Structure 1
């Protein structure tokens, strides 16, 4: 029997742990003043964390760390290590290169937080996994939007205080996980190190189908989040009405929390596959509507953006549930982690493609590039979605 506090504790621990990933964005301007001669500061800082996460997930997956050892302990130790490296920025003066290495290390140990949190949920939820992951992934989405919330209120917060606070919050989440959460009853401990388990997972047709659906989702979601402020700014330039960029960036990205929760709540009734397919369809439609943004009313523009924000994130927990349920339980964590690894590597490629395209394609048409993601996801999952009704 699952304890009543299981879901809120794991969700809080996930949010607090991943706050190390995003909270630094709120103080990047102040931090940049310490390195005035550095160009592309924001992109360099972001890329270092993303690269650390990609390499971290690859190593965690290949070594099957969360399958061979207690996933709860892996989560706790990874969170504490990430929090420790985060604090190094405050404790010791560092050069810009050392700062990048520290952020890389934070990203590396985040590989033991985000995908492992999903593994812990999968070990506890034989049924209702889609709902549980809806709240879990929703917490990550809320963390992504939080820096824009801080920017809206123009809070004057010393950057060292933010770093210390995020490390304390992350550590408190790890402590709660350690004290209250045990490994789930559906966990199957893996045997000796077996890197072939990763290849074996992709031989499962259902696993491969939903993995490619997830890859399509990842091509779109992080690049969309990164460009939300720019899309709003571009609309303001063509409209007599001016949206507050920080406030609406927060609301649009945070609306993904609603999408995750809604798909989670309805997953048992409609099935995770159909809900994921529906979210991909809506995000594709919104993406296609982007060509008319300069011509629509403020109400239509912001409505489309909010729907885009909800749909672009709402499919993530359902794809994660489907991937988890279609892999060998003994190597579930490794399978989830390697899919995360590939997915986040795709986000880096997507960001670079769109950034390059903005030099040659007008603002009106450039965001059509993001449609590549949902199109690939829809093609990959169409047959399986409408042949069989999956319930999670």
Structure 2
């Protein structure tokens, strides 16, 4: 099907302005995702939480995202309605949900419900933002989606900086994230839609099954699953890992140092996402994703052995991990976009994130129990299983004839 613009949606904004506004909206909206992670150390200092409750405060967002993306993919929402309206409405509801958190205590049973609603709304932000970026692609899809992933990374890192600035008040990251979501809801309304957009596909629930029926798409999604097994568990528990490690090696200021280090490590991933996109457009997506997973998997295996030691080496390895763990993320999405029927790009991207985030529910919940069983020295090591299997899937895709459609034939 030839690409045709949706009536009345392209607007007057050109590519540079539209992408800039989209990046601002993405950074602002995604700050709601890790508000709990940024506040967890301060929450634990004043309330007693068990391992399941700790994980639930984080994984409830993932669960909501999975439900939201599944419904969105089955109904092909990103390909059937104006993505800017879907993005804006989702960000607005997420802002309200995070404001409501301010009226609760961390142990309140309603808090995970509100976080679940936040995750549900993020299904209308993250993959929809990638769909919007893809409409402007012109042999630079990897870089464009890399920009979006960089924005997501900065948005995910920002609550850690807010937690540092907010002292011991765990509510500050939630309030700031809500304000960011409101800003995103307004900003995205001014984003233009590019020329690479297709007519809405017929409503068929079976459209989503194309992600499994199409063998090259299946391999790309399996690679993404390996990547996701590692990424969000690392992001979710890095702050607590650093906080407890620094407390063993520093006489004072360990908490603030851990927050700053977490912000730097997670935020450095923005550089990795940009570099990954630039390199993949030139040297191939399967090559870049495989290399990134090998490096990040090695960091997952090794960083635990530095636990309790001097902060310098831990931060150094953490920065390498933070860059490599996200460098490949956008390239899985770009690969899926290039291998998909153009009328189903939004649906395939949404379904990809749905399955990937469903898997993160497992790895996020396993970390606290792994810490109890084997300690922080080995708790992150099992995350390396994902990158190892993901690399195998992407190398198999590289050898498949359909790989000539990836990155202009660069595979």
Please, what TM-score do these two structures have when normalized by structure 2? 0.84
Indicate if the aligned counterparts of 1:63 and 1:195 stay in contact, CA closer than 8 A: yes
Moved more, 66-75 or 18-27: 18-27
Distance 1:255 1:183, change over 3 A: same
Task: Give me the whole-angstrom Cα distance separating, in 2, the residues matched to 1:94 and 1:236.
Answer: 25
* CA displacement, residues 100-142 of structure 1 (integer Å, 9 cap, x when unaligned): 3222222111100011101111122142111111111111112
Q: Which runs of 5+ in 1 are unaligned?
A: none
**Distance between the aligned counterparts of 2:350 and 2:239, measured in 1?**
30
After superposition, residues 271-282 of structure 1 pair within 5 angstroms as 271-282=284-295
Q: Which residue of 2 aligns with 1:136?
A: 148
Superposed CA offset, 1:63-89 (max 9, x none): 111111121221122222222333344
For residues 176-187 of structure 1, the aligned pairs below 5 Å read: 176-178=187-189, 180-187=190-197
State the partner residue of 1:172: 183
Q: Answer whether contact 1:218 1:347 (CA < 8 A) is retained.
A: yes
Corresponding residue for residue 206 of structure 2: 196
> Which residue matches 1:369?
382
**Residues 291 and 102 of structure 1, relative CA distance in 2, 3 Å threshold:** closer
Structure 1 residues 196, 290: CA separation in 2 closer, same or farther (over 3 Å shift)?
same
1:375: how far off?
Answer: 0.7
Please say if 1:107 is aligned against 2:119. Answer: yes
- Contact 2:294–2:387 (CA<8 Å) still a contact in 1? yes
Deviations for 1:151-174, whole angstroms, at most 9, x for unmatched residues? 334546683x65454333322222
Structure 2 residue aligned with 1:81, among 90, 93, 98?
Answer: 93
2:226 paired residue number: 216
Map residues 25-36 of structure 1 onto 2, 5 A cutoff: 25-27=37-39
Aligned counterpart for 1:52 among listed residues 64, 70, 73? 64
In structure 2, what is the equivalent of residue 228 of structure 1? Answer: 238
Q: Which 5+ residue runs of structure 2 have no aligned equivalent?
A: 1-12
* Inter-partner Cα distance in structure 2 for 1:195 and 1:4: 35
Aligned Cα root-mean-square deviation (Å): 3.1
Displacement after TM superposition at 1:236 (Å): 4.3
Residues 1:284 and 2:297 aligned together: yes
Q: Would the alpha carbon gap of residues 291 and 51 (structure 1) be closer, same or farther in structure 2, given more than 3 Å must change?
A: closer
Q: Check whether the contact 1:135–1:260 (CA below 8 A) recurs between aligned residues.
A: yes
| TM-aligned CA deviation for residue 268 of structure 1 | 2.3
Q: CA deviation at 1:284?
A: 1.7
CA contact (8 A) 2:245 2:308 kept: no
The CA distance in 1 between the partners of 2:166 and 2:177, in whole Å, is 18
Contact 1:123 1:183 in 2 (8 A): yes
Whole-angstrom CA distance in 2 between matches of 1:355 and 1:165: 27
Cα distance in 1 between the residues matched to 2:67 and 2:222? 20
Aligned residue-pair number? 389
Q: Output the TM-score relative to the length of structure 1.
A: 0.88
1:248-276 CA-to-partner distances (Å, cap 9, x unmatched) read 12211111111111112223221222111
